[in-house]
């Protein structure tokens, strides 16, 4: 560690090396991140709950283990956990009033694995309520502010994206070395792009969903955020693996993802789907995309124009399937088993349910439950839900056919840079359109990574997305790391620790 370096400036890999050399202790590293949270969280609101005492105790334990020569793969690494992962004994809210006082008696598999590998949890990161949103504005615990701001208009507060907005903002502002997120339709990749950090949604089934508050079970996947591709690879290895407690978790080996970041992209065929060239897309996003493809060609990859013909149906399909599953998953919040219960004297059971759900859910969640209930109801099921399932299969088939010609696909991560709080918020459909590039990977179950690749004219980060074959995160990491090397993204957000 150089004298000028702030302990929150480390990459995760760099921090592991510094811990191993004894250049810093887990206690110092954790303290520095907790100080950063104390200084910045009142403004950014990236954390709903900060577990400072537990973090310091874990850090002390971590230093003791390392001293005994028993260091584990993530020994002493301070992380943020999206408040959608159940953490034993620590309040887990899903950013909803309905779970506002819920303290799970058990740990999610993903967080249990991170703890098993020595991670130190700093606290629970803010999100859109039940992970429904693209702005973090639907949280019952208030919005998260993006640590970046526009060059010409630094006073206007921007959204960090969503739903994992707190996780992305915490990593960008250096309040954590990495974070967990979940991605149902883009909730890791879109906030990563908006906050200038890296995030990957792995293949459906790569990480266990056990203990993650369910939104849309056939789409939900956990994944990491970090400031480098390699750091994401290190975290994903700990988070992955078969879990008998999740019947959709895949029993496949977990490769060394970090090693894959060093693979050459020479000879790889990179698909460029023509349907992702949207009318009205900002010219700088189009230019960045072209630039990314040039970088990969310069490294010896070949770029191939491909067609994913059902792309235009992806958003409507997603916004039928996701609410349908959500309406079913959220039926369990009835005031009896978990969290909030609102009741008045003399209420019968049904009135208690209604009062609890009316008070406990926010507007976006209610909208999704209503859409979902509608598309599943008798008479509409065939017209909407069943049709959407069929189109989903066609979207997956588009990708299957693409894999005959290419090894990975590169697209923009989002159709715009981070927008301002208040923009796009009066019309839910405008907000849904933000997910246009990300929902396809969820519908097809494929891995997708977002990597910062440049800045727009206002100095805001823009990301590229790499999509890969199912369970081929290694190629995704190799391509992501090649883009990262070429982009050499060094810009920093205005609001950050050590600034």
Which spans of this chain sit near ligand GLN (rule: CB under 6 A)? 131-134, 163, 183-187, 215, 322, 435
201-215 burial, b at 16+ Cβ within 10 Å, e below that, comes to: bbbbbbbbbbbbbbb
The CA-based diameter of the chain, rounded to the nearest angstrom, is 73
**405 classed as catalytic:** no
> Nearest Cα to 173, choosing from 497, 499, 443, 399?
497
Q: Kindly state the smallest distance separating residue 449's Cβ from ligand GLN, in Å.
A: 15
Catalytic residue selected from 62, 96, 164, 187: 187
Residue with tokens 């954390």: 47
Output 191 or 273, the one with its CB closest to ligand GLN. 191
Four-point Cα dihedral 313, 316, 320, 325, nearest 10:
80
Is the link from the previous residue into 163 a cis peptide, with omega within 30 of 0?
A: yes
Output 185 or 271, the one with its CB closest to ligand GLN. 185
- The total of other beta-carbon atoms located within 10 Å of residue 150's CB is 18
Catalytic residue selected from 25, 82, 135, 149: 82
Helix (H, G, I), strand (E, B) or coil at 378: coil
Output 223 or 271, the one with its CB closest to ligand GLN. 223
Helix (H, G, I), strand (E, B) or coil at 354: helix
Output 10 or 130, the one with its CB closest to ligand GLN. 130
Q: Kindly state the smallest distance separating residue 322's Cβ from ligand GLN, in Å.
A: 5
**187 classed as catalytic:** yes
| 28/56 Cα distance (integer angstroms) | 9
Side-chain half-sphere exposure of 173, counting CA atoms within 13 A: 34
**What contacts 293, CB < 8 A, 6 or more positions away?**
270, 272, 303, 410
Closest-approach residue to ligand GLN (CB): 187
| 343/346 Cα distance (integer angstroms) | 9
| 165/45 Cα distance (integer angstroms) | 10
Could you tell me if 131 and 187 are in contact, meaning their C-beta atoms sit under 8 angstroms apart? yes
- The total of other beta-carbon atoms located within 10 Å of residue 470's CB is 20
Q: Kindly state the smallest distance separating residue 134's Cβ from ligand GLN, in Å.
A: 4
Output 10 or 319, the one with its CB closest to ligand GLN. 319
The dihedral region occupied by 22, where left means phi > 0, alpha psi between -120 and 50, and beta the remainder, is left
Could you tell me if 135 and 111 are in contact, meaning their C-beta atoms sit under 8 angstroms apart? no
DSSP 249: S
Beta bridge mates, 49 = 124
Q: How far is CA 270 from the centre of its chain?
A: 24
| 75/65 Cα distance (integer angstroms) | 8
Output 62 or 208, the one with its CB closest to ligand GLN. 208
**163 classed as catalytic:** yes
Catalytic residue selected from 96, 108, 134, 163: 163
DSSP 132: -
What string of DSSP letters covers 147-164? S--BTTBTTSPBP--SSS
Distances (CA, A) of 329 to 213, 222, 244: 9, 17, 20
Q: Kindly give the pairing relationship between strand 408-412 and strand 461-468.
A: antiparallel
Output 186 or 468, the one with its CB closest to ligand GLN. 186
Question: Is the Cα dihedral 425, 180, 230, 273 positive or negative?
Answer: negative
Output 268 or 421, the one with its CB closest to ligand GLN. 421
Q: Kindly state the smallest distance separating residue 110's Cβ from ligand GLN, in Å.
A: 15
Output 92 or 163, the one with its CB closest to ligand GLN. 163
> Catalytic residues, which ones?
82, 163, 187
């Amino acid at each position: 560690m150089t004298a000028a370096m702030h302990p929150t400036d480390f990459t995760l890999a760099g921090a592991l090396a510094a811990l191993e050399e004894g250049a810093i202790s887990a206690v110092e590293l954790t303290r520095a991140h907790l100080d950063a949270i104390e200084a910045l969280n009142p403004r950014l609101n990236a954390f709903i709950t900060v577990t400072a005492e537990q973090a310091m105790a874990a850090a002390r334990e971590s230093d003791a283990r390392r001293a005994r020569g028993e260091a584990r793969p993530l020994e002493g690494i301070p992380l943020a956990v999206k408040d959608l992962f159940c953490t034993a004994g620590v309040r887990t809210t899903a950013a909803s009033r309905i779970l506002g006082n819920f303290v799970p008696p058990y740990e999610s598999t993903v967080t249990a694995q991170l703890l098993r590998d020595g991670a130190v949890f700093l606290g629970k990161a803010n999100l859109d309520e039940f992970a429904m949103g693209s702005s973090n504005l639907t949280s019952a615990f208030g919005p998260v502010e993006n640590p970046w701001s526009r060059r010409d208009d630094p006073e206007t507060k921007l959204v960090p994206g969503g739903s994992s907005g707190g996780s992305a903002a915490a990593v960008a502002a250096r309040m954590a070395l990495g974070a967990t997120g979940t991605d149902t339709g883009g909730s890791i990749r879109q906030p990563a792009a908006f906050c200038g950090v890296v995030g990957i949604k792995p293949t459906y089934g790569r990480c266990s969903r056990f203990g993650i508050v369910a939104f849309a079970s056939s789409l939900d996947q956990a994944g990491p955020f970090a400031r480098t591709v390699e750091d994401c690879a290190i975290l994903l290895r700990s988070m992955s693996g078969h879990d008998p407690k999740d019947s959709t978790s895949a029993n496949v080996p977990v490769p060394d993802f970090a090693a894959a970041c060093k693979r050459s992209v020479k000879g790889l065929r990179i698909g460029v789907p023509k349907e992702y060239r949207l009318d009205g897309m900002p010219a700088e996003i189009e230019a960045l995309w072209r630039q990314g493809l040039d970088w990969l060609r310069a490294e010896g990859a070949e770029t191939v124009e491909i067609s994913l013909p059902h792309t235009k149906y992806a958003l409507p399909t997603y916004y039928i399937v996701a609410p349908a599953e959500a309406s079913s998953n959220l039926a369990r919040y009835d005031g009896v088993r978990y969290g909030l219960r609102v009741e008045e004297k003399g209420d019968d059971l049904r009135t208690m349910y209604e009062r609890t759900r009316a008070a406990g859910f926010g507007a976006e969640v209610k909208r999704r439950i209503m859409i979902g209930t509608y598309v599943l109801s008798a008479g509409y099921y065939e017209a909407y839900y069943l049709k959407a399932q069929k189109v989903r299969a066609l979207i997956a088939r588009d990708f299957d056919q693409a894999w005959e010609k290419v090894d990975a696909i590169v697209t923009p991560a989002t159709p715009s840079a981070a927008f301002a709080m208040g923009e796009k918020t009066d019309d839910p459909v405008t907000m849904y359109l933000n997910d246009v590039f990300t929902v396809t990977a969820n519908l097809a179950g494929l891995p997708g990574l977002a990597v910062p690749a440049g800045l727009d004219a206002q100095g805001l980060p823009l990301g590229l997305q790499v999509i890969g074959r199912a369970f081929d995160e290694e190629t995704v990491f190799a391509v992501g790391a090649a883009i990262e090397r070429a982009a050499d993204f060094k810009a920093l957000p205005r609001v950050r620790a050590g600034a």
